[in-house]
Amino acid sequence: MSPFVGQKLGTFIAKPNAENLVVLKELIEAGNVTPVIDRTYSLSEVPEAIHYLEEGHARGKVVITI
């Protein structure tokens, strides 16, 4: 949290239910929902991945492969 930029910290708690999960599963299987992956890093490259995220350039998910 930067003292120079106004920021708010909030919480998000997901409460999945079976019906919504089934609908989501069907959408994914039909190819109607796909994740946007910006970059993929190996486990040894985690510091670089964190730096990339901190720069604010990510336009999708940053994935760490093990």
Over the chain (66 residues), the average pLDDT of each successive run of 10 is 64 83 92 91 96 90 94
CB 17 within 8 A of CB 24: no
> Can you read off the two tokens belonging to residue 25?
């599963």
Please report the pLDDT score of residue 14 as a whole number.
76
d(CA 2, CA 21): 37
Q: What is the pTM of this model?
A: 0.55
| Structure tokens given for 22 | 């089934």
| Amino acid 41: pLDDT | 97
